[in-house]
Amino acid sequence: MGYRDELDTPCLIVHEPILRRNVEEMAAFARQQGVALRPHFKTHKTAEIARMQREAGAIGFTCAKLGEAEALADAGVADDVLLAYQIVGEQKLRRLLALMDRITVTVAVDGVDGAAALSAACRDAGKTLDVRLEINTGLDRAGVLPGEPALALAREVVQMPGLRLTGIMTHEGHVARARNADELAEIAQRAGTAMVETAALLRANGIPVDTVSVGSTPASWYTPTVSGITEMRPGTYVFNDNSAFRFGRVGVDGCALRVLATVISRPAPDQAVIDAGSKTLAMDPPQGRAGHGYIVEYPDATIARLSEEHGVVLLPPGLEGLQVGERVEIIPNHVCPVVNLQDELCLVRDGAVVDRWPVVARGKVR
């Protein structure tokens, strides 16, 4: 029996040959650009794919939350993690200090208050923590602005006991606002240039900057090409998703992860209901095409509405199919939150389930 009939739905399947090709392609690109590859763990959250990335040449991993880094350490896969996130609060400082006994950890800082608390905790523990300045190159989330504001913060941080400033980092996720491929390349390269110029400014003021790090899968082919960037941190590339469709960079055959779903109701000629709702597909808005995911077998159908356990699919006039009991594969709009909703990934190859990998960092939001 093939995987499409064998598995209960909704579930996540990963086409293993596509996954493997994606992992190798990005590693080859990083090598070719001469930049270090430090993939973001949050996309897959599995020990097995982390191992695959290491074997392909990743120097370490990026995590957002401490719990993700702890999961990587527990799995014995990573000895070098960048927490691309501000670590704040007594509980987290204790956990950070404990993690530093197990693996090499670097933490993002973007303000004096947060850095001072890290410094005090490390000084009291007699430890030294590597930190990187998080630079806001346009996403307007966390981060200090490039240029003079970054320099001012760097001057403070280098004075703080217990901290060692080793570089700067940004997440140029605002490339998602681009309306076409040229604009995406332009935004990415502007972000890369701001990073390189900020690094130069810091160095000119006597502050050593070893690492100049950027990260975002859609921007992967642009930001790291700016001369002076030393590290890239893509995440989504292992699976790809609808956001990668946007400008034709990746097609369906580059999307490794799909939601396997079953049609459970056919209440009207132009409407089908699938058993994948927001608790499976997540509610991240589409980029570049309508609906809550791309149905591989019916690209002209639209997943128009989601409630928690229902996906309402609208069929264009004349489209046959999507009968009760039929199964479909859906490429999600944003793959990372979709993985976070499940306990395992079902690996498939040549039409058969070949493995099941636990999502070890599912729900690790602390």
Distance between CA atoms of 11 and 81, rounded to whole angstroms?
29
Tokens of residue 214, six digits: 């950027």
Minimum CB separation from a second copy for residue 186, in Å? 22
Minimum CB separation from a second copy for residue 130, in Å? 19
Q: Is 341 helix (H, G, I), strand (E, B) or coil?
A: coil
Q: Which of 53, 136, 137, 217 binds a second copy (CB under 8 A)?
A: 136
- Contacts with a second copy by CB under 8 A: the residue count is 64
Edge-to-edge order in the sheet of strand 163-169: 36-37, 231-232, 211-214, 163-169, 129-134, 104-109, 80-83, 61-63
Instruction: Determine contact, residues 65/364, Cβ cutoff 8 Å.
Output: yes
Minimum CB separation from a second copy for residue 95, in Å? 8
Q: Which of 216, 240, 262, 302 binds a second copy (CB under 8 A)?
A: 262
Q: Which is nearer to a second copy, 5 or 320 (CB)?
A: 5
Q: Which of 177, 179, 289, 366 binds a second copy (CB under 8 A)?
A: 366
Should residue 131 be labelled a site residue for a second copy when binding is judged by CB under 8 A? no
Which one of the spans 162-170, 221-229, 247-255, 269-277 is the region binding a second copy (CB under 8 A)? 269-277
Q: Could you tell me the CA-to-CA distances from 344 to 17, 46, 141, 357, 358 in Å, in that order?
A: 18, 9, 31, 5, 4
Minimum CB separation from a second copy for residue 66, in Å? 9
Should residue 283 be labelled a site residue for a second copy when binding is judged by CB under 8 A? yes
Q: Of 300, 302, 293, whose CA–CA distance to 319 is shortest?
A: 300
Instruction: Determine contact, residues 304/291, Cβ cutoff 8 Å.
Output: yes
Should residue 9 be labelled a site residue for a second copy when binding is judged by CB under 8 A? yes
Should residue 21 be labelled a site residue for a second copy when binding is judged by CB under 8 A? no
Q: Which of 73, 340, 349, 357 binds a second copy (CB under 8 A)?
A: 340
Should residue 106 be labelled a site residue for a second copy when binding is judged by CB under 8 A? no
Minimum CB separation from a second copy for residue 330, in Å? 14
Q: Which is nearer to a second copy, 226 or 361 (CB)?
A: 361
In the chain, what is the straight-line distance between the N-terminal and C-terminal CA atoms, in Å?
40
Cα angle, residue 175 at apex, residues 290 and 337 outer, rounded to 5° = 60
Should residue 91 be labelled a site residue for a second copy when binding is judged by CB under 8 A? yes
Q: Is 94 helix (H, G, I), strand (E, B) or coil?
A: helix
Q: Which is nearer to a second copy, 101 or 308 (CB)?
A: 308
Cα angle, residue 285 at apex, residues 357 and 182 outer, rounded to 5° = 100
The H-assigned helical ranges of 236-313 are 242-245, 278-281
Which one of the spans 27-35, 84-92, 212-220, 226-234 is the region binding a second copy (CB under 8 A)? 84-92
**Residues within window 29-68 making contact with a second copy, judged by CB under 8 A:** 42, 64-65
Should residue 111 be labelled a site residue for a second copy when binding is judged by CB under 8 A? yes
The per-residue b/e assignment along 68-94, b for 16 or more CB within 10 angstroms, e otherwise, is bbbbbbebebbeebbbbbbbeeeebbe
Q: Which of 18, 52, 117, 338 binds a second copy (CB under 8 A)?
A: 117
Q: Which of 4, 51, 123, 310 binds a second copy (CB under 8 A)?
A: 310
Instruction: Determine contact, residues 297/328, Cβ cutoff 8 Å.
Output: yes
Should residue 234 be labelled a site residue for a second copy when binding is judged by CB under 8 A? no
Instruction: Determine contact, residues 264/274, Cβ cutoff 8 Å.
Output: yes
The per-residue b/e assignment along 251-273, b for 16 or more CB within 10 angstroms, e otherwise, is eeebbbbbbbbbbbebeeeeebb
Cα 265–chain centre separation: 34
Q: Which is nearer to a second copy, 48 or 275 (CB)?
A: 275
Name the site residues for a second copy (rule: CB under 8 A). Answer: 5, 7-11, 42, 64-65, 85-86, 88-92, 110-111, 113-114, 117, 136, 140-144, 173, 262-267, 271, 273, 275-276, 278-280, 282-285, 305, 307-310, 312, 323-325, 336-337, 340-343, 362-363, 365-366
